[in-house]
Amino acid sequence: MLIFQVLGPFRASHRDSVLDLGGRRQRAVLARLVVAGGRAVPVGTLIGELWPGEPPAQALATIQGYVSRLRRALEPGRAPRGEAGVLVSAPPGYALRAEPGQVDSWRFEALVKSPAQASPAAEWELMETALGLWRGPALAEFADLPWAAAEAARLEELRLVAAERRAAAGVALGRSAPLVADLEAHATAHPMREEAWRLLALALYRAGRQGDALAAVRRARGLWREELGLDLPAALRRLESDMLAQAPHLDPASAPGNEPAVKGEELRVVVADDQALVRTGLRVVLENEPGLAFAGEAEDGEQAIGVVRAVRPDLVLLDIQMPRLDGLTAARRILAEPAPPKVVMMTTFGTDENLYAALRAGVSGFVLKTSPPEQLVAALRAAAAGDALIDPAVTTRLIAAFAGRFDPKAPPELAGLSDRHLDMVKLVARGLTDRQIAATLSLPEPEVSGAVAGLLDRLGLFDRAQIVVLAYESGLAGRTGSVP
């Protein structure tokens, strides 16, 4: 069977024997017919594309001679006046008659354009097959001809798509760590490809390199701003938010579906800030973020308490400094209500002693007003999930700085905790998520989540940030020694 190969050095072969296709311009005639995909190419088009500018006077006769010699090479057993079956006359020109499996570029395109497979393993195998057809740059010997350059660019784009589909399947199959080097090279070579950066960041995250994953997104943001003057595309911003919040759907165990875990309805958020511009900006963010909904607003602490009582939101985003009633006092009163919502404080400074008092009172954490929208969204999601601290490094550093100023004595409740529960308190104080604690203690994650919830209930606390405060104030955190 005749085989035509475009994805690398151009050639035709029959039963593993490479055929002599003649000189460069004669070979270009066959390559141009291959690129046409079985459609007829008029002789005038062939002349114009083989001799850009001024074709020779005998161009038509030359083309006819090329076709005659190519027919003899492709069908050596054909009778002298027999009808051609491969390179056929198709007035007003010629066409190549071949099956999709005979031309590597045709087969490659069909594989890459096929629908996503039912499983990551099948997707991986399909893209491996497609990429295995490549032997080098397509149509490189004809790179100076516009039609060949355009087709080479089109095929290269399909190759990049195939590489990204293969990588996505590999990440879903748990092969993140071995893929990182290839994805790093891919993103560096094609810095404006959104999917390249998304896959690199996701592979790094699933390989246990969260810091490097976030750094990759920051690099992408810098490139987008420098080259395009734009912020990152929505998908990359959402991935960054999910990584900051350590969203459960990023866990390798849930990779095949690659869908965010949905818990009930949208999270309804009340915004309280004395600046109308801040409230309006936050409303825009909330109304454009999937899974979050703007539930109401207030311009001081008293109004915030009233709005919370009226609309019963899931979350309250509360400025720590407001007129009439400050955010700290308002937070304490909101958290004293039956079944209170989660409260996240907003501040201009990250080292305010009032923030420590707010954490001690039971707020879930705090965000700087200068934070980009994706960090704000990540904080709200982390507060709602309750299985991780908001910005654990900053939160634990703040608590460590102020711990002991209020009550340095260990609360009596800690004395009755088992060693395993005390170890869990220490791990929470280090900023670990429930998933990370489960891995450290070799326990199922639901068991850890239940134990943390039990600790909150037993100690009369609202949020895991209070566990961190308690650990530092009692001296349980910050002691020398190891934690399992």
Give the whole-angstrom CA distance, residue 274 versus residue 280. Answer: 11
Give the whole-angstrom CA distance, residue 316 versus residue 331. Answer: 9
b/e burial code for range 23-41 (CB count within 10 A of at least 16 → b): eeebbbbbbbbbbbeeebb
Regarding predicted confidence, which is higher, 130 or 441?
130
Single-letter amino acid, residue 321? Q
Instruction: Give strand ranges (E) for 288-420.
Output: 292-298, 315-319, 342-347, 365-368
Percent of the chain with pLDDT over 90: 39
pLDDT computed for residue 18 by the predictor: 93
Q: What is the mean pLDDT of residues 340-352?
A: 76
pLDDT computed for residue 412 by the predictor: 53
For residues 42 and 94, the answer to whether their CB atoms sit within 8 Å is no
The CA dihedral of 148, 150, 154, 156, to the nearest 10 degrees, is: 70
* Cα R_g (the chain), whole angstroms: 32
pLDDT category at 393 given cuts 50, 70, 90 is low
pLDDT category at 261 given cuts 50, 70, 90 is very low
Q: What angle do CA 242, 246, 249 make, to 5 degrees?
A: 70
Nearest to 334 by CA among 347, 349, 315, 348: 315
Name, of 34-48, 73-87, 282-296, 442-456, the range with top average pLDDT: 34-48
Statement: residue 11 has pLDDT above 90? yes
Tens of pLDDT, residue by residue over 363-377, are: 887 777 777 777 788
Statement: residue 69 has pLDDT above 80? yes
Per DSSP, the three-state class of 473 is helix
CA distances from 382 to 2, 143, 202, 343, 389 (A): 60, 53, 19, 11, 7
pLDDT category at 143 given cuts 50, 70, 90 is very high
Tokens for 164?
A: 């990204």
What sign does the CA torsion over 145, 151, 152, 153 have? Answer: positive
What is the layout of strands, in order, in the sheet containing 41-42? 41-42, 93-96, 87-90
Q: Which of 7-21, 285-299, 329-343, 459-473 has the lowest mean pLDDT?
A: 459-473
Tens of pLDDT, residue by residue over 31-46, are: 999 999 999 999 999 9
Statement: residue 263 has pLDDT above 60? no
Whether residue 92 is preceded by a cis peptide bond, meaning omega within 30 degrees of 0, is yes
What is the layout of strands, in order, in the sheet containing 2-5? 2-5, 11-14, 17-18
Hey, what domains does the chain have and what are their CATH numbers?
Answer: 1-171 (1.10.10.10), 174-261 (1.25.40.10), 267-385 (3.40.50.2300)
For residues 200 and 183, the answer to whether their CB atoms sit within 8 Å is yes
Statement: residue 408 has pLDDT above 70? no
Statement: residue 23 has pLDDT above 80? yes
* Burial zone of 216 (CB within 10 Å; 0-12 exposed, 13-18 middle, 19+ buried): buried
* Burial zone of 229 (CB within 10 Å; 0-12 exposed, 13-18 middle, 19+ buried): exposed
Give the whole-angstrom CA distance, residue 462 versus residue 157. Answer: 52
pLDDT computed for residue 432 by the predictor: 77
pLDDT computed for residue 132 by the predictor: 93
Single-letter amino acid, residue 375? Q
CA distances from 381 to 208, 211, 292, 344, 353 (A): 21, 19, 9, 11, 25
Beta-carbon contacts of 153 under 8 Å, excluding residues fewer than 6 positions away, are: none
Tens of pLDDT, residue by residue over 206-223, are: 888 888 999 999 999 999
What sign does the CA torsion over 413, 415, 417, 421 have? Answer: positive
Nearest to 279 by CA among 352, 362, 378, 346: 346
Tokens for 294?
A: 């703007």
Give the whole-angstrom CA distance, residue 20 versus residue 13. Answer: 9
Give the whole-angstrom CA distance, residue 68 versus residue 75. Answer: 11
Statement: residue 405 has pLDDT above 70? no
Give the whole-angstrom CA distance, residue 238 versus residue 144. Answer: 42
Tens of pLDDT, residue by residue over 428-475, are: 777 777 777 777 776 777 788 888 888 777 777 777 777 777 777 777
Q: What is the mean pLDDT of residues 137-146?
A: 93
What does the mean pLDDT of the chain come to? 83
Tokens for 177?
A: 């760590």
Statement: residue 361 has pLDDT above 80? no
Nearest to 104 by CA among 40, 27, 10, 26: 10
* Burial zone of 233 (CB within 10 Å; 0-12 exposed, 13-18 middle, 19+ buried): middle
Give the whole-angstrom CA distance, residue 449 versus residue 445. Answer: 6
* Burial zone of 15 (CB within 10 Å; 0-12 exposed, 13-18 middle, 19+ buried): exposed
Q: What is the mean pLDDT of residues 132-159?
A: 93
pLDDT computed for residue 403 by the predictor: 59
pLDDT computed for residue 452 by the predictor: 83
pLDDT computed for residue 25 by the predictor: 94
Crossing angle (nearest 10°) for helices 464-474 and 353-361: 110
pLDDT computed for residue 406 by the predictor: 43
Per DSSP, the three-state class of 443 is coil
Q: What angle do CA 225, 280, 359 make, to 5 degrees?
A: 90
Regarding predicted confidence, which is higher, 277 or 9?
9
pLDDT category at 166 given cuts 50, 70, 90 is very high
